[in-house]
Amino acid sequence: MNIISESVYKNLKSYLAFRHFVRHAYSFEINSKTIESVLTMVPNLIENFIQELSY
């Protein structure tokens, strides 16, 4: 039995990969469109993660 769904897992993994990149990259390597897509995804990801843990 999984604690979270495959979908939430994949989204968390994508977010963590992005976070890792940002922590180790120079600011000139960061694409603004990538940041925008992550920022719009995160609120929904957090909500889904909390909902799945609440079951």
The residue among 20 and 26 whose pLDDT is bigger is: 20
Q: How confident is the model at residue 18 (pLDDT cuts 50, 70, 90)?
A: confident
Q: Fill in the amino acid letter for 28.
A: F
**What is the structure's pLDDT at 26?**
66
C-alpha 52/C-alpha 20 separation (Å) is 24
- For residues 16-31, give the mean pLDDT: 74
The residue among 28 and 52 whose pLDDT is bigger is: 52
pTM for this entry: 0.61
Indicate the domain borders of the chain. Answer: 6-54
